[in-house]
Chains A and B, each alone.
Chain A
Amino acid sequence: MKSSNSSDPDHFHRVVDCQWGCPAHTDVPRYIRQIAQGDFTEAYLENRKSNVFPGVLGRVCDRPCEPACRRGRLDEAPVAICRLKRVAADLSDDIRDRLPPKGKSNGKRIACVGAGCASLTVANDLLPLGYDITIFEQHDKPGGLMRTNIPSFRLPAEVLDDEIDLIVERGVDLRLNTRIDSMKQLLDEGFDSIFVGTGAPRGKDLDLPGRNDSDRIHIGIDWLESVAFEHRDSIGENVLIIGVGNTAMDCCRSALRLGGKNVSVVARKPRGWFKASAWELEDAEEEDVNILVNHSPKSFVVEDGVLKGMTFDKMHYEIDDNGELSSAEVVEEIFLPCDDVILAIGQDNAFPWIERDVGLSFNKWDAPDVDDVTHGVELPGVFFGGDSAFGPKNIIWAVEHGHRAAISIHKYCNGEDISDRPARGMNLLSTKMGIHEWSYSNDFEDSERRQMRHVELTERFKNIRIEVELGFDPEQTALEVERCLNCDVQTVFSEKLCIECDACMDVCPVYCLTITEDGDEDDLRQRLRAPADNKDQVLYVSDALPQTGKVMVKDENLCIHCGLCAERCPTGAWDMRKSQLKIPYANKTVEEKNINVS
């Protein structure tokens, strides 16, 4: 097959599974090494560069990096990346003097609608460039869904306030209690560009008999919001939560803290089809929430204006050979008594404030068509990001949307083509320190993933503001950082130096190297020393080797970056080089060009 083009920044970026899997491409191995060296402030800043809210995300990120982590494929649990992020945030010094101040005003005014994570990221990226940013927020506090939908026992308000302050206090014109009711009016106010980050604020309703006969049937995200703003501080003893996503998990655990005694989460499908993250489900079950499966809601039972319970069809599903649900049949009808019902079955975008004749086309979900690279819409100068762009995702996606939109806004305000995107770059730097010494910890740590410590069950329900997770202690941190495989320390091969002694192949603990006759990719994958059946991971293929004309093939799938191939190489054909992805931001484009295989 064609030899690998390792000068394409994507080639080595893909090897760093966590960073590749992260929407914002946070350089995880780099900040884990900084934590390992006790340099928490640098680790925090490294995080902040890409994800802007390390303290928040270190607690409540959806963690796409963790299922991507290579250790998960080595028959064990991924590195506790998210927990380590929190360590950096908890122990970082004040970084205020390390952030770029607001630049000298360039006379351009930007409006952001909604003070959630997407708008705040836009402000963060554009402030140093001298833009005047105005953020309009309907509530009396900024934060958007981070504040209204994530209960404070998971994300303390102080953590959120601190990280929002780091942006706002540098000169954002934050207008609280200011709801934008008309896009037309906003357009008329003469802003140079408008960013819409209004989230997906409408919780889905369940239109069943009895729905409108009681005021004890709540929409999940609205209910969480009223709890967050302390408009509500109690709930009945028996609570049913309908739906089994992460919002349902937040609802059930909040209900337990407001007086719920018997709280059940009711799912329509079996366990494998739950939308909630495994760890959120685990935390809810630890608090004794009942999870009921295969219950399809049928009606609300209300007698004399009082909610008595709900009826459900108990379902039986057949699962076919592909693991899909193939058929469903109703087995029986079940009545579950309750005092309150919370509906947590999803959210929709809602744009009641955008006039339909303003010049935007709306798609079948009644949302504007948004370009997924530029985040622009039909109206020039208007950009959408976060959940308001493509429906509910998560915080880290919203942050990435903010970065992309900020680039677009900067280009738009400078009269440049917004679709001409700045390129990424990649630096490679040898880690060789001595004959068998590297500037990273290359030994494999075979300990298991450290478990999060929690506040005792007897303590945690006393107040909804008691944060349940205690964070990692120093011992846990010291061990967990060593579990990281340093996937960013790349094995870089120079074919012209290779004498085909086989030493690298022979020493590799995971058999990822093979010297063999060239062939096409499918054929090569069959001929490697160990099965190479994960096609999501690339093969690193060299040019023809000098002595036999064979090729060196590396299956990047399970390499543990121990560096033994490079240690056993007599000619230095293999080298361990630290890769650093250069990501362009609005306030910082990539100038360095690739430094590559010499």
Chain B
Amino acid sequence: MSFIAKPKITHPGLPRNSIGLTLRDYEGSMSTLCAGCGHDSVSSAIMQAYFELSIEPHRVAKVSGIGCSSKTPTYFLGGAHGFNSVHGRMPSIATGANAANRELQYIGVSGDGDSLSIGLGQFSHAIRRNVNMMYVLENNGVYGLTKGQFSASADKGSKAKKGEANSYSPIDPVLLAMSLGCTFVGRSFSGDKDNLVPLLKSAISHSGFALIDVISPCVTFNDHEGSTKSYAHTREHMLETVYADYVGEHEEIIAQVKPGEYRQVMMHDGSRVGLRHIDENYDPTDRIAAISYIEKHRAEGAVVTGLLYVEEGSEEMHTTLGSAPGAMSEIPYEKLNPGAEALKRIQGRWR
């Protein structure tokens, strides 16, 4: 970490979004992560996405667990709400917060340790409930905070910094999520913001659980030769399959693409996501085909990126539950808590 805080001074000609904010209004504190950490780049992409969507920081709630990745919500959107929870328990906190106030935008930031080891059950059930949130899984294949042991997402045969190879099969969060019925699944790379930022914007506008698995290299413990999650290895083996191009509600589509290679998915809020199929054989709305495509390429060592699966018109948690519209904080206390008499009447129905 640096001894100085990032100076407040900035470029006087910095662009402003439609609510008059600059990118700097989406910053948080100075990062204390290692210099060159992929997570810092993901934080920067998240700031860019909220900035471009002109979402006011205080309309966002950031939740996280434990780990290098889970520290990062401190480093973006300083004006947002936040909760740094117990290891692996962020999905429960997010579910509860979302149940109480459905008016906020939820972003959960987690890592491969937090989500795929200690929190795997929590992760699965949040997907199953289709909680309306963006879940960013910053995936580096190692436990960085405890000095670089292999995590559950480390590829078999991938080498640690001192040379030993990983002997277990990895859990692939993308395939896991798709098998659990996740309604929005994407994968990207911290070193490719051209791909990551529009994917984040699409995920934010998705109604339901949107998982983005971001390969985010650990520059200290997993950026060497032999690692399958280094900057160089990821760049070499990345296979961009579907490019998600977020299109705002009132924007015109400018991209010139051949018919058949481009389609739009209507999002819940009236915005659209344009999907440009870089591989024309890929259909991101066909779950079974998508799973087999990803499996096939994984076996070949390729890291398939892009918006890999999206379910149009997905039903998020509140719709399924039929819960009251609006945030609970907006409901008058008398209505929210009808009192002991009302409770007695309700209990009476089961006597």
B11 touches A510 (CB 8 A): yes
B91 to chain A, nearest CB (A): 28
B1-42, CB under 8 A of A: which get 1 and which 0?
A: 111101111111111000000011000000100111110110
**Does residue B268 face the partner (Cβ distance < 8 Å to A)?**
no
A571 touches B36 (CB 8 A): yes
Q: Chain A residues near B235 (CB, 8 Å)?
A: 500, 547-548
Stretch at the interface among A418-426, A464-472, A562-570: A562-570
A443 touches B232 (CB 8 A): no
Q: Chain A residues near B38 (CB, 8 Å)?
A: 501
B7 touches A569 (CB 8 A): no
Q: Chain A residues near B23 (CB, 8 Å)?
A: 511
A502 to B11, CA, bound (A): 19
A500 touches B191 (CB 8 A): yes
B11 touches A562 (CB 8 A): no
A508 to B3, CA, bound (A): 15
**Are A74 and B40 also in contact (CB < 8 A) when A442-B4, A500-B231, A570-B35 are?**
no
From the candidates B11, B31, B34, name the one contacting A531 in the complex (CB within 8 A).
Answer: B11
**Are A511 and B219 also in contact (CB < 8 A) when A499-B36, A500-B191 are?**
no
A446 touches B11 (CB 8 A): no
Q: Chain B residues near A548 (CB, 8 Å)?
A: 235
In the complex, chain B residues 106-165 whose Cβ is within 8 Å of any chain A Cβ? none
**Are A568 and B36 also in contact (CB < 8 A) when A436-B2, A500-B191, A501-B191 are?**
yes
B9 touches A499 (CB 8 A): no
Question: Would you call the interface of chain A mostly helix, strand, loop, or mixed?
Answer: loop
Interface range for A: 35 or more
From the candidates A506, A558, A567, name the one contacting B11 in the complex (CB within 8 A).
Answer: A558
Q: Chain B residues near A502 (CB, 8 Å)?
A: 40-41, 44, 190-191, 193
Q: Chain A residues near B67 (CB, 8 Å)?
A: none
A557 to chain B, nearest CB (A): 9
A508 to chain B, nearest CB (A): 9
B181-225, CB under 8 A of A: which get 1 and which 0?
A: 000000000110100000000000000000000000101100100
**Does residue A399 face the partner (Cβ distance < 8 Å to B)?**
no
**Does residue A560 face the partner (Cβ distance < 8 Å to B)?**
yes
A531 to B12, CA, bound (A): 9
A512 to B24, CA, bound (A): 14
A78 to chain B, nearest CB (A): 14
**Are A444 and B9 also in contact (CB < 8 A) when A548-B235, A562-B4 are?**
yes
A568 touches B9 (CB 8 A): no
Q: Chain B residues near A437 (CB, 8 Å)?
A: 3
A443 to B240, CA, bound (A): 41
Q: Can you list 8 A-B pairs with a CB-CB distance of less than 8 A?
A: A75-B12, A446-B9, A500-B231, A505-B44, A507-B40, A510-B9, A531-B11, A562-B7
Chain B residues packing against A (C-beta within 8 Å): 1-4, 6-15, 23-24, 31, 34-38, 40-41, 43-44, 190-191, 193, 217, 219-220, 223, 231-232, 235
Known: A501-B217, A530-B15. 12 other contacts (CB 8 A): A436-B1, A443-B4, A444-B9, A499-B36, A500-B235, A501-B190, A509-B7, A509-B9, A509-B10, A558-B11, A569-B35, A570-B219
